[in-house]
């Protein structure tokens, strides 16, 4: 049972990494917002504004989410 849970967790993380990538070329700090903008096919400025506005109301959640995404996601430049 433990092996199947680990396999499912690994496959889920690999799927997320293959679809969402950091975009440090268009990013300001780490490329998390630019990568999310690429994933949602929108302008990075919109994602940055949404992040800042959300951060005004839930700063700990936004900071934690940003740092986790920065650590776990792969950079787009490394894949080319």
Q: The whole model's pTM is what?
A: 0.66
What confidence tier does 15 reach under pLDDT thresholds 50, 70, 90?
A: low
Give the chain's length. Answer: 80
Mean pLDDT of 48-54: 93
Mean pLDDT of the chain: 77
Given a cut of 80, is residue 12 above it in pLDDT?
A: no
Mean pLDDT of 28-33: 81
Task: Point out which residues pair with 22 in neighbouring strands.
Answer: 75
Give the highest mean pLDDT range of 13-22, 32-41, 69-78. Answer: 32-41
């Amino acid at each position: 049972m433990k092996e199947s849970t680990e396999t499912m967790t690994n496959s889920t993380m690999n799927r997320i990494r293959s679809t969402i990538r950091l975009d440090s070329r268009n990013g300001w700090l780490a490329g998390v917002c630019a990568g999310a903008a690429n994933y949602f096919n929108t302008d990075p400025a919109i994602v940055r504004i949404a992040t800042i506005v959300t951060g005004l109301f839930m700063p700990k959640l936004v900071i934690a989410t940003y740092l986790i995404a920065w650590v776990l996601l792969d950079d787009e430049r490394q894949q080319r």
